[in-house]
Chains A and B, each alone.
Chain A
Amino acid sequence: MIGYTLKRLVNACVILFVIATATWFLMQLLPGSPFNDEKLSPEARAQIEAKYGLDDPLLVQYVRYIGNLAQGDLGNSYQYSGKPVLEIILERLPVSAFLGAQAVVLGVIGGLLLGVIGALKHNSLADSGTALLAVLGIAVPEFVLAPLAQYWLAFKLGIFPPAFFESWWHSVLPSMVLAITVAAVVATFTRTEMLEVLGQDYVTLAKSKGLNKVAVVARHVLRNSMIPLITIIVPLTAALVTGTLIVETVFAIPGIGEQFVRSIQVNDYSMIIGTTMLFSVFFVASYLIQDILYGIIDPRIRVVGHGD
């Protein structure tokens, strides 16, 4: 088990290094520069580039960058008068993380319920209803859902505050909007897996032993249907935490998603790299956790893993 985990950790570090290098090179290809005032004379531009070390040869810049990264120094933002990127990320990340985590909780609970109902009431009206909801949840994009939810539930009906992040209640509507996609995916998975499990022999045996339906579902069916969910929940969480761009913009929430796109638009090199590395760490970490979870749950994977 230890050997397996260590191998996976080393793997993760290598992947992160490759991502860091690739991102850096891609950014050199980005047209334009962080300093773009037409009022900028060539002399002023030269001064600024000297100040930020942008006039050094590429290899020097690259080595400096990797060195800093290894020490956890993500550099300073170009658009916010040299404020450290790490500071900006740390200020905003908890906001996005909270929204995402809440959305996962809401979405998983909602999705599980929908999926269970769909599977148990297979081929009934309830099943078709939940399937329809699931499809809509996946298909309707967030930039439609978010403004709609905000307009009707916040501005018109006044149930939720329309914008900003001043209290927990402010986070509920944005999290709900994010949770819709989560719930839809979870519902679909749960329903499919449960249907398969419900047809298994041991379930028939449990029923024939006289266990009531609820007990059967709770003790046997759900636990065995959960394993495939591990596959999607972990990357889904990472994507949620980072993909809150639309929701953060519409609800005027100061998170990391909207900051990321803005930094690409204005060529804020350090911010772009910092945020990309952050997201990469999330993804790599979540796959690492997932691999370890599988290793715990299913020993055969560990054994097979050892072989290569």
Chain B
Amino acid sequence: MAIRRVSPGKALVSTQLSRRDFLKISGSGLAGAALLGTAGCGVFENSGGTGGGGGGGNVLNVNLATEIRYLDSALATDEISFGILVNTQEGLYRLDPDQKPVPAAADGAEVSDDGLTYTFTLRDGIEWSNGDPVTSRDYKYAWLKVLNPDTASEYSYIIYTFVQGAAEYNAGDGSAGDVAIETPDDRTLRVTLVNKAPYFLQLTSFPLYFPQQQEYVEQQGDDYAQDADTLIYNGPYVMTQGGVGAGGTTVLEKNDRYWDKANVAVQRINGRIVKDSDTALNLYEAGELDITGLVGDKVARYEDSPEFYRRVEPTTFYGQVNHDVPALANLNIRKALMTGFDRKTLTERVLADGSEPAYALVPPAITPGPGDQTFRQALGDLLPTDTSGARQLWEQGVEELGETPRLKMLFDDSSIGRDIATFIQGQYKENLGADLEIEITTFEAGLTRVQERDYQVSFVSGWGADYNDPMTFLDLFLSDSPQNTTGWSSERYDELINGAKREGDQERRMQMMAEAEPILFDEVVLIPEYYSAVAGLKKPYFKGFAPHDFGGSPDFKYASIEGK
């Protein structure tokens, strides 16, 4: 905006900067600075509570990487919230460092002969952090809260899939009274399941199954679980600082009322939030973080360090095929797409983070299987591991269709998503002579499109196991599963999987699932890519690092600091 300066006449008059003017100006300048200073005081982290760092020797500094979204166990959906919950609350069972469920708030469970009714006995003397006893009613209240349709809990399926009467209540067709959870007395909880579920004990360690005390929750009203002061805790740690969406440090301190506090070694955990991975790595090297994740090319760089750790998770990334698309109705085209890119190169060059090539759906990290083997060991690879036969399949498919199909692949907009997209596109060109288009979208938009069947082949997402059993992957493709957005269904597959759900004998149900999984690849329902791995660096004095593949992770109850 053009502006006219003060005219020369005016300037000549006001040449004298008197002493008073000078004092006025510098006075207001100083006042401004002082104001800034005092206003600033309230802004800094240490200017009030216990602050961020420090705490002496028995402290772990970890990076949460993003703000906590939920502290209400009935509503939580994300990793970070689960991670805080598993350390501050406790379910009937807890996963040990080997991912096995061990009695926690319960000291045992009896299972009925038909495998459907579980009777849990709560441990004597367990208390909330406010001194009140933890009772079986606290578990019933919390589970019903998860199922209540008004709560609108995103993870409600983790309970209603298993407990009798729960699905109807959640859908609004039944009442809370019809849900098969009973509390004959304060220390006993009895649950009846819809189907046999050998992994049910493990499920009770999942944060959605944690207890809540009805009186406390109702007293807090809308403020419940917004921050450290509006929660009570029955786990190894209590939260003394932090809250939902809070940007500062989240502090966990050892819970004096925890029944097993004798076995909790680390006194305090400082949860910082560092979103930039380079900053996090630098902070780790400077000793301000005791553990950090590694992504991208950093993994290869630090692989040989003694502080390096890596785990292949029970998570599979795969492309989903929309069977309603005419071109994809052709089996040869689908088979060509399934075998047309080299997974070894994908994992070794493009990802280079320890992820492993996937030639099936159920990942190797899922331990139960037929006989003594894991499921993956027993079944092996379900598609060819090399690309040699792909071109022929493609050409055959094109001949059968009468024209070359124009196909689009949907990918998410993360940098690794784009890298994988470019790689696969290049591979299809090289191995099939086919030109497939890439469509990039945000993760959220991609999920919506897949749900609305507005896609052809979608590589947007993968699937992480909810519990340690092949069923968590295999029931995704039942014809009535809400997660089955492929438009494919098979009577035989439904028969086998539903049968396995009802089957009590472990070996027989494994056999049924073993017969079902190959069907997904004979008919090319999905195009597996890789089983993902996480990698990171951990200080040598940080012992007992117990990440969990299911539910909240990591579990600091088992951690200790030695030799610092």
Contact = CB atoms under 8 A, between A and B. Distances in A.
Interface stretch (B40-48, B328-336, B358-366, B505-513): B40-48
Contacts, number: 192
Interface string A235-256: 0000000000000011110110
B279 A162 contact: yes
B276 interface: yes
Interface string B156-177: 1100000000000011000000
A124 B171 CA distance: 79
Contact of B482 (A42, A220, A223): A42
Interface in B32-80: 33, 36-37, 39-40, 42-47, 51-53, 66-67, 69-72, 75, 77
A200 interface: yes
Interface stretch (A17-25, A88-96, A176-184): A88-96
Contacts of A33: 444, 448
Nearest to B413: A265
B266 to A, nearest CB: 21
A228 B3 contact: yes
Given A44-B152, A44-B154, A167-B46, A36 B245 contact: no
A298 interface: yes
Interface residues of A, number: 76
B175 to A, nearest CB: 16
Contact of B279 (A94, A250, A266, A294): A250
Q: Which of A42, A77, A252, A259 has its CB near the most chain B CB atoms (within 10 A)?
A: A252
A197 B8 CA distance: 10
A254 B39 CA distance: 17
Interface string A61-103: 0000000000000000101111100001001101100100110
B247 A37 contact: no
A308 interface: no
B244 A147 contact: no
Contact of B70 (A34, A37, A81, A250): A81
Interface string A185-215: 0000000000001001110011000000000
B274 interface: yes
B1 A92 contact: no
Contacts of A12: none
A90 to B, nearest CB: 12
B448 A231 contact: no
Interface residues of B, number: 79
Given A50-B152, A51-B150, A297-B6, A220 B11 contact: yes
A38 B473 CA distance: 13
Contacts of A163: 274, 279, 283, 288
Given A88-B245, A219-B17, A220-B11, A252 B273 contact: yes
Contact of B154 (A39, A50, A102): A39
B44 A170 contact: yes
A202 B245 contact: no
B154 A231 contact: no
A254 B248 contact: yes
Interface in B1-31: 1, 3-6, 8, 11-12, 15-17
A31 B8 contact: no
A162 B441 contact: no
Given A81-B70, A83-B245, A166 B442 contact: no
B43 A98 contact: yes
A201 B8 CA distance: 8
B12 A202 contact: yes
B444 A38 contact: no
Given A48-B152, A150-B279, A41 B157 contact: yes
Nearest to B53: A166
Contact of B442 (A32, A227, A251): A32
A282 interface: no
B264 interface: no
Interface string B445-475: 1111111000000000101001000000000
A38 B461 contact: yes
B268 interface: no
Contacts of B69: 79-81
B40 A231 contact: no
A38 B8 contact: no
A81 B483 contact: no
Given A42-B482, A81-B70, 13 more contacts: A41-B482, A44-B156, A44-B157, A48-B152, A50-B152, A91-B245, A162-B279, A166-B53, A167-B47, A228-B3, A231-B1, A250-B279, A252-B279
Interface of A: 31-44, 47-48, 50-51, 77, 79-83, 88, 91-92, 94-95, 98, 101-102, 105, 147, 150-151, 155, 162-168, 170-171, 197, 200-202, 205-206, 218-220, 223-224, 227-228, 231, 249-252, 254-255, 258-259, 262, 265-267, 294, 297-298, 300
22 contacts: A31-B445, A31-B448, A39-B483, A41-B157, A41-B483, A43-B170, A43-B482, A50-B152, A105-B33, A105-B36, A162-B279, A162-B283, A162-B288, A163-B283, A167-B44, A167-B45, A167-B47, A223-B11, A228-B3, A252-B272, A254-B273, A265-B444
5 tightest A-B CB contacts, nearest first = A254-B247, A32-B444, A31-B445, A41-B482, A80-B245
